[in-house]
Amino acid sequence: MIREPALSVVIATRDRAACLARLLRCVKEQYLHDFECIVVDDGSSAETVAAYDEIWRELDERFRLLPRPPDERQPGGPSRARNRGIKAARGEFIAFCDDDDRWVRNDHLSVALRTLKAHGGDLYFANLQTSRNGSVIGPDFYGTARAPLTRNPVRGETDVFEVSRQDRAVSMKYMFLHCDSTVASRHLLEACGLYWEKLMMAEDRDLGLRLLDRAEKVLYRSTVVADYDRTIQTGLCRSYTEDEIRQFIILAMLHAETVIQDGALRRVARGYRAWMLVELAQGALDAGQNGRARELALQSILLRPTAAAFGLLARSTVGGLTNTAVAPNRTEAP
pLDDT digits (tens, 9 = 90+) for 236-251: 556 788 999 999 999 9
14: number of CA atoms within 13 Å, CB side? Answer: 15
Helix (H) or strand (E) holding 113: helix 108-119
- 135 vs 196: CA distance, rounded Å: 32
Q: Which of 92, 122, 117 is closest to 215 using CA atoms?
A: 122
- 243 vs 333: CA distance, rounded Å: 16
Q: What's phi and psi for 41, nearest 5 deg?
A: -85, 130
Whole-angstrom CA distances from 198 to 49, 81, 201, 209 are 25, 12, 9, 17
DSSP class of residue 153? B
pLDDT score recorded for residue 75: 82
Long-range CB pairs of 140-143, under 8 A, 24+ apart, other chains included: 140/224, 141/175, 141/178, 141/224, 141/228, 142/171, 142/175, 142/220, 142/222
Which stretches of the chain score pLDDT less than 70? 1-2, 232-238, 319-334
Q: Which of 149, 148, 131, 168 is closest to 222 using CA atoms?
A: 149
- 22 vs 27: CA distance, rounded Å: 9
- 243 vs 240: CA distance, rounded Å: 8
Q: Which of 307, 303, 277 is closest to 292 using CA atoms?
A: 277
CB 162 within 8 A of CB 154: yes
Question: Residues with Cβ < 8 Å from 323, sequence gap 6 or more?
Answer: 288, 290, 330, 332
37: number of CA atoms within 13 Å, CB side? Answer: 26
Question: Residues with Cβ < 8 Å from 264, sequence gap 6 or more?
Answer: 166, 168, 169, 170
CB 127 within 8 A of CB 146: no
Helix (H) or strand (E) holding 66: strand 63-66
Question: Residues with Cβ < 8 Å from 3, sequence gap 6 or more?
Answer: none
